[in-house]
Structure 1
């Protein structure tokens, strides 16, 4: 698995106001592999929210990383873990939370690039990046290249996945201002948050590779798929715009997803996006 080669950032700023936010439930080896993929020209702060792992997650000793583990009293799900993580980062004075999940890998300078964009665009509350989806053994499967501009994202927000959650950097004060992560929409806590953010701020994507997303058959998208789609449909109905044709197309798409087997959908995605999988 390799990453694209980016030109070095000129006069890279410290990352003292940025923290990587990683919820984790078991998977010690995945946690270590993911954190080892970070490479920045400044010290990296990490908060692992251990969601009741047995045995507990142990912070790996990695150069240039300052790692703290916040232990939840019991396994309560990703929604509660992320909510607690945001609150903890706010209490520690961080301005930005950079999401990633155990098992995914990042590209060099991701944090600095996202921070520089958010500093230059104060109206943007959430910033994602393009993502290479890979198999468990690192084989490229397909690329996710959502639109970059806030206006385009708002137009097609239900027609396609406009953000890859583990690639996002979020303004912590904005997340708290709209109510933080919530449990109201199980397995779709990311879409719920992004829709609330877009009601008050902008959200955007950097149109460059930022993340290698591991397609995990044991992940939420597979194991809690019907719950996730049901939550997405509820959100669609809440924010539905009858004048936007993409909202109608998105509703039809998710109804189709609800009745289509997961493996069939993955085969369709691989065929659609395979030509863009090379880096």
Structure 2
């Protein structure tokens, strides 16, 4: 058994799952825990995935009888990981691609920096045709992360790796913040532990128009607002973050999309 378990929730996207598994470098030492969240189509073919997995480790398949939502699938997998005494948990979403020796890099960082219990990394975003869209550049140090988490994303979920010790303090993924369980989880971690992002882009993230952040945008923003309110204190960043997310919530989706296109265009020019 390896020290790191990779947690992947799956729902109706087997082809994307094969792509993700196939992207793991053959030199990696990692076990995979795949939780199928009640898929009704594109169901898992275990033999295909076992053949696609070239790294040093095993794959465990867990199946939920009905679709309960990603937060429940994550917690089901996390429960298995903790009960089997893995030291670290890493995350990857279906369709996303690992870059280089991603898990070795993150694992070594956590082993070398015992005071840091949770890390993410920068990432590249691609559309479903494989076209580059933009690069995620997150704050790297905890001092900036703990301030800016109230404003916008400071981690991207598929880059998470954390020491499982943190679960004793922060608990599992919250189930009362629909479509923002990763933000709520990260908020709890940032409040109790030192966190960091690695500057390297270690994951290529697939921007799926049917993904949670796009198809359930309003629900996600309302949940983010609830997370901010539940962790609010009187300070510049929480106040600004609260009003910023309220404005985003009431702004039409097409306006947000247009502003993002302008920002991406400017990022490419600079």
Shared fold by TM > 0.5? yes
- Partners of 1:225 and 1:129 lie apart in 2 by 23
Residue 82 of structure 2 corresponds to 90
- Partners of 1:210 and 1:49 lie apart in 2 by 23
Residue 115 of structure 2 corresponds to 123
Which of 121, 126, 142 is 1:150 aligned to?
142
- Partners of 1:36 and 1:189 lie apart in 2 by 27
Which of 103, 120, 123 is 1:111 aligned to?
103
Which of 44, 58, 62 is 1:57 aligned to?
44
**Mapped pair 1:33 → 2:19:** yes
Cα distance, 1:164 vs. partner? 0.2
- Partners of 1:121 and 1:263 lie apart in 2 by 43
User: CA RMSD for the aligned pairs?
Assistant: 1.8
Residue 185 of structure 1 corresponds to 177
Q: Is the 8 A contact 1:39 1:108 kept in 2?
A: yes
Cα distance, 1:262 vs. partner? 3.0
**Mapped pair 1:254 → 2:245:** yes
Cα distance change on mapping 1:44 and 1:79 into 2, 3 Å: same
Residue 268 of structure 1 corresponds to 259
Which secondary structure does the structure 2 equivalent of 1:207 belong to? strand
**Mapped pair 1:230 → 2:222:** yes
TM-score (norm 1): 0.89
Which secondary structure does the structure 2 equivalent of 1:221 belong to? helix
**Mapped pair 1:45 → 2:31:** yes
Deviation sequence 1:168-199 (CA, Å, 0-9, x none): 11222212431111212111111111111122
Cα distance change on mapping 1:133 and 1:270 into 2, 3 Å: farther
- Partners of 1:83 and 1:21 lie apart in 2 by 10
Deviation sequence 1:220-255 (CA, Å, 0-9, x none): 111221111111111111222322x22222222211
Q: Is the 8 A contact 1:143 1:276 kept in 2?
A: no
Deviation sequence 1:245-277 (CA, Å, 0-9, x none): 222222222112112233432332233234556
Residue 9 of structure 1 corresponds to none
Cα distance change on mapping 1:223 and 1:110 into 2, 3 Å: same
What aligned pairs does 1:12-23 form with structure 2 within 5 A after superposition?
16-23=2-9
* Residue segments in structure 2 that go unaligned for 5+ positions in a row: none
Which secondary structure does the structure 2 equivalent of 1:218 belong to? coil
Q: Is the 8 A contact 1:38 1:106 kept in 2?
A: yes
**Mapped pair 1:72 → 2:64:** yes
- Partners of 2:124 and 2:116 lie apart in 1 by 23
What aligned pairs does 1:3-14 form with structure 2 within 5 A after superposition?
none
Which secondary structure does the structure 2 equivalent of 1:185 belong to? coil
Which secondary structure does the structure 1 equivalent of 2:222 belong to? helix
Tell me the number of residue pairs that the alignment of Structure 1 and Structure 2 aligns: 263
